[in-house]
Structure 1
């Protein structure tokens, strides 16, 4: 029996180091990691490779349930598929394993609560955005024009030969924002 890890981060600028450390401590010699892939997608390249790699008697280990699936139906279907292939499942953080009936029951309950939490968060986010809109505020980044004082300052510093990262430190913005400022058409 081999314990094989699966890690996932939703955006490319996140890193999976915390997950990798926990999975190695849980006995995983091999870890498949999806970077910049939402858990709502049914097809994830590294998860697909993991599923192809598994053999009867193996164990799939994740750091948390939500790394494997973002909704209860998807998560339970995936685990049913694993069980049908003779593969066990373990979640390190929740302490859940499918090696017995109690673990399977806990998995169902925990994934249902995780789904409820995500649904409530989405509902609160929508309500907050609606309240903000009712008060005349818009979601998203504010619009800027080429006449904005930070845009002008960024251009001045760029003309002096400074790099975008250094300009960002001086005017208090990120390097990406400096690039956005510099790409605006001049008035």
Structure 2
């Protein structure tokens, strides 16, 4: 039985190493890392990614698949739900670093199955909703950058967080994590996390604005 860690990095601000270190810090003993680089979790299904499709070949009954959060599998509701259910049918256990959730097909009780499936559906829907919110914020940041091009650009102070950290903060806030817990997980100050919490779209827009300089 092996523990496989799957990482997906879609931008240069994210790294596989960052995700792996986070998993090991949470107590996971990783036997193998499988990672996709520069792949969208919205438009590219897990089974269509260069490395994602390998998971369907190498995972066996009794193995554990570890991901930082469900959105690493994808940000498309249907794809995430289908992938997790297929892995569970094969006897694979899926575990998340953030919140320490576990999904498997062990229970035969229909009520427990219903609760488990509802949680999977909720998390998959949250992943897609977050992706749509981020895209909207990016469009706003890009529009702002274009509107100020050729003028005296005032972008404010450069963000003290990167895209990977912002994504972790947003995901943990969605799961009702405390500010102290988020600060420990990301290395960001409590003040920074409060600012992101109060204006997540503004935080995303600030990153987009600075990224285009």
Please state which band the TM-score falls in when normalised by the shorter chain: 0.5 to 0.7
Distance in 2 (alpha carbons) for counterparts of 1:66 and 1:8: 9
| Contact 1:65/1:94 (<8 A) preserved | no
For 2:131, which of 118, 132, 136 is the aligned residue? 118
TM-score (norm 1): 0.62
| Contact 2:74/2:127 (<8 A) preserved | no
Give the equivalent residue in structure 1 for 2:50. Answer: 45
Q: Give the 3 Å change call, closer, same or farther, for CA 123–29 of structure 1 in structure 2.
A: same
Deviation string, structure 1 residues 110-147 (Cα, Å, up to 9, x no partner): 221222222233344446666x5xxxx737987xxxxx
Distance in 2 (alpha carbons) for counterparts of 1:7 and 1:50: 11
Instruction: Report the alpha carbon displacement of residue 55 of structure 1 after superposing the two structures with TM.
Output: 0.9
Q: Give the 3 Å change call, closer, same or farther, for CA 37–140 of structure 1 in structure 2.
A: farther
Gaps of 5+ in 2: 108-112, 151-212
Structure scoring higher RCO (CA < 8 A, sep ≥ 6) equals 2
Number of paired residues? 138
Give the equivalent residue in structure 1 for 2:10. Answer: 10
Instruction: Report the alpha carbon displacement of residue 32 of structure 1 after superposing the two structures with TM.
Output: 0.5
Instruction: Report the alpha carbon displacement of residue 69 of structure 1 after superposing the two structures with TM.
Output: 0.6
Bigger mean CA deviation after superposition, 16-25 or 81-90 = 16-25
Distance in 1 (alpha carbons) for counterparts of 2:54 and 2:131: 27
Instruction: Report the alpha carbon displacement of residue 39 of structure 1 after superposing the two structures with TM.
Output: 1.6
TM-score (norm 2): 0.55
Give the equivalent residue in structure 2 for 1:58. Answer: 63
Deviation string, structure 1 residues 73-129 (Cα, Å, up to 9, x no partner): 110011111122221211111322113534443222122122222223334444666
